[in-house]
Amino acid sequence: MLFRRAFKDSIPVLMGYSTMGFASGLLLAVGGAISWSPLWAAATSAAFVSGPLQYIFVDWMATSLAIGSVLLVTLCVNFRYSLYGLSLIERFQGASLWKKAYLIGTITDETYALQMACDLKGGTYVTYCLFLTMLDHLYWICGVTAGAVVGVLAQGAFSPEKVAAATQGIDFAMTALFLVILADLLRNAANRLPALIGLVAALVAVFVFGKGGMLIPAISLIVAAFLAFRRWLDGK
Amino acid sequence: MESKALYALTVLVSVGVLSYLLRALPFLLFGTRGEPPALVKYVGRVLSPAAIAMLVVYCYAGEVAKLTPNTHMWAIAAPYLAGVLTIALQLWRRNPLLSIIAGTLFYMLLVRL
């Protein structure tokens, strides 16, 4: 019964993760310039559990971005997750260590929202959350891997050149994903100034250092601006 | 091992470990109870919008880098027109899947004109 409830609640996530995952897997196969892409798709989707990181992983593979920049981007994109756990600490109390370790390690915006919306208590709640988290995690891994498998099969059936020509422009899905996340964040007035700071810092950094070298300067500028303007930005 | 695979493995392990540590941070630092410092809460709140805005600029820098003297007008305009469509759809219908698919298909159409 708990499983059925978790499955029913997770259906919107199934639609989103399988489609977005599929597109990122396809991108990796077509544009990631790496052999055995389905294997990398499965491993990275299981370990990162993040849409933005999964898309930008393709860019990293294509450009071999320095690991320092890679880690800094990861830190900035996923820092908010470190705050999600806090609101769940008390509700997960009593769960065994490995259950907690799994629940916490795979949390996403969507899973978090569903977990916060659930009114169950105690052990039942933890079991529900486990089902939900496993389902969401599985949708994501299957979506990404299936995309890469289809990409590789298509390259085998036709030719890499033909597949590249047919899918030309599909990499805009990454830009579109970030634009959608940004549009949603900007609904909340408190996010507008931080977003503007990110925009200005990134523009300055890209004009000075170019695309390949912009990320670390941009992030440094953003953090410096946050510390300098905290008085105005920190509306509690 | 080919160098590309070695690079992928390095990214897989380092990003995987960092992602995990970030998610587990409150539990590691504050145990089962407690509050993070106000500065951490503040940075956590403002960092996401800034990081996403930065990544949008990063994506568009990639679009500019793709340009060649032979790029036709519609392909130059494609990322901006498709971007406007994506944002407009998202603000209007609030359906991420719809906005992303429509924006991407529109982009794919424009670069083929």
B111 vs A169: CB contact, 8 Å cut-off?
A: yes
Nearest to A215 by CA among A232, A201, A200, A229: A201
Nearest CB among A78, A107, A179 relative to B86 is that of A179
Confidence of residue A55 (pLDDT cuts 50, 70, 90): very high
Nearest CB among B23, B97, B108 relative to A82 is that of B23
Which residue type, as a one-letter code, is found at position B23?
Answer: R
What's the pLDDT tens digit per position in A58-107? 999 999 999 999 999 999 988 888 877 777 777 887 888 899 889 988 98
- Is-contact A50 A108, C-beta < 8 A? yes
Query: Which residue reads 């544009």 in tokens?
Result: A31
A-chain residues within 8 Å CB-CB of B91?
Answer: 183
What's the pLDDT tens digit per position in B2-59? 788 999 999 999 999 999 999 988 777 776 556 777 887 888 889 889 999 999 999 9
How confident is the model over A10-37, as a mean pLDDT?
Answer: 90
Task: For A120-185, give the DSSP string.
Answer: --HHHHHHHHHHHHHHHHHHHHHHHHHHHHHHHHHHHHS-HHHHHHHTTTTTHHHHHHHHHHHHHH
A50 contact B CB<8A: yes
Q: Which value, in Å, is the radius of gyration of the alpha carbons in chain B?
A: 20
A105 vs B63: CB contact, 8 Å cut-off?
A: no
- For residue B1, the model assigns a pLDDT of 58
A162 contact B CB<8A: no
B53 vs A56: CB contact, 8 Å cut-off?
A: no
How confident is the model over B71-91, as a mean pLDDT?
Answer: 96
- HEC assignment per residue over chain B: CCHHHHHHHHHHHHHHHHHHHHHHHHHHHHCCCCCCCHHHHHHHHHHHHHHHHHHHHHHHHHHHHHCCCCCCHHHHHHHHHHHHHHHHHHHHHCCHHHHHHHHHHHHHHHCCC
- For residue A66, the model assigns a pLDDT of 92
B46 vs A194: CB contact, 8 Å cut-off?
A: yes
- For residue B74, the model assigns a pLDDT of 94
A-chain residues within 8 Å CB-CB of B97?
Answer: 15-16, 19-20
- For residue A75, the model assigns a pLDDT of 92
User: In Å, how far is B98's CA from the nearest CA of chain A?
Assistant: 10
How confident is the model over B105-113, as a mean pLDDT?
Answer: 95
Nearest C-alpha in A relative to B44: A80
User: In Å, how far is A200's CA from the nearest CA of chain B?
Assistant: 8
Confidence of residue A193 (pLDDT cuts 50, 70, 90): very high
B99 vs A47: CB contact, 8 Å cut-off?
A: no
At residue A108, the 3 state secondary structure works out as coil
CA–CA distances in Å: residue A154 to residues A19, A158, A169, B105: 18, 6, 17, 19
- Is-contact B110 B74, C-beta < 8 A? yes
Backbone CA torsion sign across A191, A192, A197, A203: positive
Lowest-confidence segment of A28-32, A92-96, B83-87, B102-106 by average pLDDT: A92-96
Nearest CB among B10, B83, B108 relative to A169 is that of B108
Confidence of residue A16 (pLDDT cuts 50, 70, 90): confident
Going by the DSSP 8-state scheme, the letter that residue A32 receives in this structure is S
Interface contacts A/B by beta carbons within 8 Å? 276
Chain A contact probe: residue of B10, B14, B57 with most A CBs at under 10 A: B57
B55-88 burial, b at 16+ Cβ within 10 Å, e below that, comes to bbbbbbbbbeeeeeeeeeeebbebbeebbebbbe
Confidence of residue A226 (pLDDT cuts 50, 70, 90): very high
Quote the mean pLDDT of chain A: 91
Does position A236 have pLDDT exceeding 60, yes or no? no
Write down the ipTM of this complex: 0.91
Residue A199 CA to residue A45 CA, distance in Å, equals 28
